[in-house]
């Protein structure tokens, strides 16, 4: 890996932050830690790493102690053979909090990280002050209704917000083949995906793309990140046992997820707020960081 893309170099652009490794729940997690104030734990999504928070975390650190975690299988965290169901991954975060002496925290999750954040809130509600889900809700039976084929005229250069076709949800279910196809070539997938789900993919810089490509070019990283998707059936079964959440919840929704969030949030939470980031695609931290920071800051100020 080129030096400029290593954690030790990337963290230099985050004033006051430092890299750490910690053993929890039978695995090893990498995380970065900076800032002072109420704790805000941030969980990234696919196919990114802790670095995906680079446009929002340093500014949030002026008001919060911000901890960004490479979840199990991500970035510089370990890639164990199992444990990619969201309940186990939530236990990873819970044990990290215990080891750091954090009794309660605000939790922010994007994409797959949102699924882990939701699982943490369901399984360890006493440690979650406020929950923020950014384009990432816990897997449920609705996933079983996702289309194998896109309706005619809906699968173009950009995602159809009304009838999104997310073929990678199926592709990532396949074992062993993706590693063979994508090893050393992951940048092709990144470029296609960012163009497809972002309104303006120029906001995802060439440097950002390379940061993620050098990680996901590795077969063990492809295998581990796909395991997040391969655990969805277990996640759906776990979700059947969960009750509605009681802590304050903020849904940060892009153009793609806004319609679904309107339906889903009343089902999963007793008290919630929905923030629609208009004209913003799935990778909202890059496309609309100011709106993300404002929404998070206002919500946590009111919620706590």
Write the pLDDT tens digit of every residue in 75-131: 999 999 999 999 999 999 999 999 999 999 999 999 999 999 999 999 999 999 999
pLDDT given at position 279 = 95
Report the side by side order of strands in the sheet with 105-110: 18-24, 27-34, 65-70, 39-43, 105-110, 128-134, 249-253, 272-276
Query: Domain locations in the chain?
Result: 3-143+232-303
* Chain segment 38-54, per-residue pLDDT in tens: 999 999 999 999 999 99
Q: What is the pLDDT of residue 196?
A: 98
275-301 per-position pLDDT tens digit? 999 999 999 999 999 999 999 999 999
Question: Is residue 169 within 8 Å of residue 235, measured between CB atoms?
Answer: no
Q: What is the pLDDT of residues 141-182, one digit of tens each?
A: 999 999 999 999 999 999 999 999 999 999 999 999 999 999
Given a cut of 80, whether residue 257 has pLDDT beyond it is: yes
Give CA–CA dist 133/137, Å, rounded: 7
CATH architecture of 3-143+232-303: 3-Layer(aba) Sandwich (3.40)
Output the pLDDT for position 302. 86
Tell which residue, 88, 69, 87, 82, has the closest CA to residue 29: 69
Report the pLDDT value the prediction gives residue 304, as an integer from 0 to 100. 53
pLDDT at 1 over 90: no
Q: What does pLDDT average to over the chain?
A: 97
Token representation of residue 26: 């039978």
User: 2-39 pLDDT, tens per residue?
Assistant: 789 999 999 999 999 999 999 999 999 999 999 999 99
């Amino acid at each position: 890996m080129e030096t400029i893309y290593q954690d030790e170099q990337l963290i230099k652009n985050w004033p006051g932050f430092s890299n750490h490794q910690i053993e929890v729940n039978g695995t090893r997690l990498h995380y970065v830690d900076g800032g002072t104030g109420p704790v805000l734990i941030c969980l990234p999504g696919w196919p990114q790493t802790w670095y995906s928070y680079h446009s929002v975390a340093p500014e949030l650190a002026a008001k919060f102690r911000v901890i960004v975690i490479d979840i199990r299988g991500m970035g510089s965290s370990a890639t164990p053979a199992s444990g990619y169901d969201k309940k186990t991954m939530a236990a990873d975060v819970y044990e990290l909090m215990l080891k750091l002496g954090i009794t309660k925290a605000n939790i922010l999750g994007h994409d797959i990280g949102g699924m882990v954040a939701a699982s943490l809130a369901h399984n360890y509600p006493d440690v979650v002050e406020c929950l923020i889900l950014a384009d990432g809700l816990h897997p449920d039976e609705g996933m079983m209704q996702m289309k194998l084929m896109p309706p005619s005229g809906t699968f173009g250069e950009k995602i159809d917000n009304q009838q999104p076709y997310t073929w990678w949800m199926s592709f990532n279910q396949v074992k062993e083949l993706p590693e063979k196809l994508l090893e050393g070539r992951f940048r092709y997938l990144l470029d296609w995906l960012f163009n497809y789900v972002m309104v303006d993919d120029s906001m995802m810089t060439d440097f950002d793309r390379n940061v993620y490509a050098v990680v996901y070019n590795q077969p063990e990283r492809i295998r581990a990140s796909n395991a997040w998707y391969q655990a969805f059936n277990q996640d759906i079964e776990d979700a059947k046992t969960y009750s509605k959440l009681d802590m304050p919840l903020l849904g940060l929704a892009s153009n793609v997820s806004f319609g679904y969030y309107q339906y889903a949030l009343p089902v999963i939470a007793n008290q919630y707020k929905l923030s629609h980031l208009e004209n913003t695609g799935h990778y909202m931290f890059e496309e609309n960081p100011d709106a993300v920071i404002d929404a998070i800051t206002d919500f946590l100020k009111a919620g706590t």
